[in-house]
């Protein structure tokens, strides 16, 4: 099967091919693309490594995954993070470690205005760190350069819930690290924080996005109730290309 690439991700492809390419990667990203029929693989260099995201199914998907990883191996890339559609059987020609199932969502619909949510100050970052200890999989920390602001619900001298309003590579508002303290779960605080950050993001963008681990059924129900729609389900793994 013929695979086209690698070549730069064209602006019209990023803008019109897929919502993830448009709102997460963006038309101006220095990304490289491999294509076979309707399957594509897109490689992006970020601060903490190379990320390859794949779309499609069947033999064409196998072909673009193999072509992308072979080319990156030839460039001396020792390992990367590869994401393949969760509902397909894909042959990844590398040693894969630490697989995780996750979902990417987006919304353009403003949720109801929440109450009790505050925008946190830098003085409250230690409280955010204390809360994040209850969620080791959270992908944002105080001081991260991509975090625009932290929103939270205060209860006494601690945070009942908090989340990070970040910026995706495309410049789109992207929500991360939405965490509720175990003592305050089931009280709507996580939904309130999510709604507040979504409303803030929609002030300057037509779309807000987020990612979540697929085993979190409670979070999925909350996000869908607030107007988010699941666009992609992926399995992401650390792919070791050497040895």
Residue 143 burial (C-beta neighbours within 10 Å; 0-12, 13-18, 19+): exposed
Nearest to 55 by CA among 73, 67, 42: 42
CA distance linking residue 190 with residue 7, whole number of Å:
41
142: domain CATH number is: 3.40.630.30
Q: Verify that 120 and 69 share a domain, yes or no.
A: no
Torsion of CA 225, 231, 236, 242, to 10 degrees: -160
| Full pLDDT tens readout for the chain, 243 residues | 899 999 988 877 776 779 999 999 987 778 999 999 989 999 998 877 899 999 999 999 999 999 999 999 999 999 999 999 998 999 899 999 999 999 999 999 999 999 999 999 999 999 999 999 999 999 999 999 999 999 999 999 999 999 999 999 999 999 999 999 999 999 999 999 999 999 999 999 999 999 999 999 999 999 999 999 999 999 999 999 986
Print the domain residue range for 93.
4-102+234-240
Q: How far apart are the first and last CA of the chain?
A: 27
Q: Domain check: are 132 and 161 in the same one?
A: yes
Contact yes or no for 61/54 (Cβ under 8 A): yes
Q: How many CB atoms lie within 10 A of CB 196?
A: 23
185, 222: one domain? yes
- Looking at residue 27, what is its pLDDT? 79
If asked whether residues 90 and 117 sit together in one domain, one would say: no
Same domain, 56 and 120: no
Q: Rounded to the nearest 5°, which phi and psi values hold at 234?
A: -130, 160
Same domain, 98 and 140: no
User: Do 55 and 124 belong to one domain?
Assistant: no
What is the pLDDT at residue 57? 92
Indicate yes or no: pTM above 0.85.
Answer: yes
What is the number of structural domains in the chain? 2
Burial string for 41-55 (b: 16+ CB within 10 Å, else e) reads: bbbbeeeeebbbbbb
Q: What are phi and psi of 211, to 5 degrees?
A: -125, 150
Q: What is the pLDDT of residue 242?
A: 81
Q: Are residues 143 and 200 in the same domain?
A: yes
Q: What is the pLDDT of residue 243?
A: 63
Q: Helix, strand, or coil here: 129?
A: helix
**Judgement on whether residues 155 and 218 belong to the same structural domain of the protein:** yes
213: left (phi over 0), alpha (psi -120 to 50) or beta: beta
Query: Which residues contact residue 132 at a Cβ distance below 8 angstroms, ignoring those fewer than 6 apart?
Result: 138, 141, 162, 177, 179
- The conformation of residue 123, written as its DSSP 8-state character, comes to G
Q: What is the DSSP letter of 157?
A: T
Question: 96 with 124, same domain?
Answer: no
Is 221 found in the same domain as 120?
yes
- Rounded to an integer, what distance in angstroms lies between the CA atom of residue 84 and that of residue 58? 12
Backbone torsions φ then ψ of 85, nearest 5 degrees: -55, 135
Domain match, 149 and 53 both: no
């Amino acid at each position: 099967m013929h695979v086209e690439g690698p070549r730069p991700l064209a602006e019209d492809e990023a803008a019109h091919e897929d919502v993830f390419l448009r709102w997460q990667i963006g038309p101006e990203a220095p990304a490289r693309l491999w294509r076979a029929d309707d399957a594509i693989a897109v490689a992006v260099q970020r601060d903490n490594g190379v990320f390859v995201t794949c779309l499609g199914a069947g033999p064409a998907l196998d072909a673009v995954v193999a072509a992308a990883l072979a080319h990156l191996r030839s460039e001396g890339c020792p390992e990367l993070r590869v994401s393949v559609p969760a509902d397909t059987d894909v042959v990844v020609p590398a040693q894969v470690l630490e697989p995780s199932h996750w979902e990417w969502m987006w919304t353009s619909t403003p949720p109801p205005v929440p109450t009790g949510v505050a925008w946190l100050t830098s003085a409250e970052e230690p409280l955010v760190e204390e809360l994040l200890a209850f969620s080791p999989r959270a992908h944002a920390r105080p001081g991260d350069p991509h975090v625009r602001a932290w929103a939270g619900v205060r209860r006494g001298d601690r945070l009942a819930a908090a989340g990070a309003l970040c910026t995706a590579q495309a410049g789109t508002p992207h929500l991360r690290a939405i965490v509720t303290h175990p003592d305050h779960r089931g009280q709507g605080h996580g939904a309130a924080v999510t709604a507040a950050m979504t409303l803030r993001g929609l002030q300057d963008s037509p779309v807000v996005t987020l990612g979540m681990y697929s085993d979190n059924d409670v979070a999925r129900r909350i996000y869908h109730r607030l107007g988010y729609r699941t666009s992609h389900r992926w399995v992401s793994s650390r792919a070791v290309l050497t040895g």
